[in-house]
Amino acid sequence: MATDLHRQVNPLTKETTDDAAVRVDSLTRSFDGRAVIDNLELTIPQGEFVALLGRSGCGKSTLLRVLAGLDREINGEVLVPRRKAVAFQAPRLMPWKKVWRNVLLGLPGSPGREVAEKALEEVGLGHRSDAWPKTLSGGEAQRASLARALVREPDLLLLDEPFGALDALTRITAQRLVSDLWQSRGCAVLLVTHDVEEALLLADRVLVMDGGVIAHEVRVDRDRPRDIADPYIADLRTQLLDRLGVEAPEAAEVEKVA
């Protein structure tokens, strides 16, 4: 698998023979002299689904931007697949282009419409390929954004809180869609989220970022689909909330009764 090796000044190209989709070594990213990411280490094997949690401002989105190649002002080394794609919380669709043309935005070469329509069918949006973005619901717009990422056939899919602006029911549908797509595609996924339950329902491994590093991780050893009421999942949820400095609702109720 071809990879890009990013450094602060000179981007290099390197071949890798191990099974890592992402390898980060001694990564530091500073803003105005303050290290938001501080000597961070991270490895994501090929095909693994990883969720990244952390308080606002901890550097989650900064790390994702570095992995996406959108921020190269770094110290350290970052090894990522050349074929990667990003979906953000805002779908970022061009209002003057129909949905199928939005899916092909920035794609190298001159792919035909059938390429876009195949990706749209995969996310359940084939019937809206000729629609204008302003006519899409929030969930449909996010699916169009996912189609735009998938059409790049990524070995690494980066998701920056893609469900944050969706209502509860649409969010559940979108989560299931991403899980199904990941299982069918087999690519590595890094999902940045504030939602602990979402992380536990979707990911193989959940990381907590704090102080500019990966401060904690849990492996979720449960088959999919998962049930948030499963005592094993509930215990992991309490553990992660504690690491994030948030009191679990159940604990709060017990304290109130006492």
CATH number at residue 252: 3.40.50.300
- The total number of structural domains in the chain stands at 2
Same domain (yes/no): 79, 195: yes
Cβ–Cβ under 8 Å, residues 40 and 77 = no
Residues 10 and 79 in one domain: yes
Six-digit token string for 178: 């991403």
At 108, is the pLDDT very low, low, confident or very high (cuts 50, 70, 90)?
confident
Sign of CA dihedral 105, 69, 182, 135: negative
Q: Is the pLDDT of residue 92 over 70?
A: yes
pLDDT at 141 over 60: yes
pLDDT at 250: 55
> Within 10 A of 55 (CB to CB), how many other CB atoms are there?
14
Q: What is the mean pLDDT of residues 124-150?
A: 93
Q: pLDDT tens-digit profile of 154-167?
A: 999 999 988 877 88
Coil vs helix vs strand at 6 = strand
How far is residue 252's CA from residue 184's CA, in Å, rounded to a whole number?
40
Query: Residue 18 class from Cβ within 10 Å (0-12 exposed, 13-18 middle, 19+ buried)?
Result: exposed
Domain boundary among 104, 120, 153: 153
74/165 same-domain check: yes
**Are residues 62 and 177 both part of a single domain?**
yes
Q: Give one word for 241, left, alpha or beta, with left for phi > 0 and alpha for psi -120 to 50.
A: alpha
Q: Same structural domain for residues 162 and 145? A: no
| 73 and 187 co-located in one domain | yes
Residues 168 and 249 occupy one common structural domain: yes
Same domain, 70 and 190: yes
Would you state the pLDDT for residue 236? 96
Show the domain range for 57. Answer: 2-83+154-257
Domain match, 109 and 209 both: no
Q: Examine the domain organization and report whether 136 and 28 are in the same domain.
A: no
pLDDT digits (tens, 9 = 90+) for 172-211: 888 999 999 999 989 999 999 999 999 999 999 999 999 8
Q: Which of 117, 136, 153 is the last residue of a domain?
A: 153
pLDDT at 95 over 80: yes
- Which of 153, 179, 194 is the last residue before a domain boundary? 153
Q: H or E segment at 250?
A: helix 249-257
Q: Which of 119, 125, 157, 160 is nearest to 141 (CA)?
A: 125
Share of the chain above pLDDT 90, in %: 64
Per-residue pLDDT tens digits for 111-120: 889 999 999 9
Say which residues have a Cβ less than 8 Å from residue 111's Cβ, sequence separation at least 6: 104, 151
Residue 18 pLDDT: 66
Beta-bridge partner residues of 84: 156
**Do residue 124 and residue 181 come from a single domain?**
no
Residues 241 and 201 in one domain: yes
Q: What mean pLDDT is reported for the chain?
A: 86
Q: What is the mean pLDDT of residues 61-68?
A: 93
Torsion of CA 60, 63, 64, 67, to 10 degrees: -160
Say yes or no to pLDDT of 252 above 80.
Answer: no
CA distance 187 to 4: 17
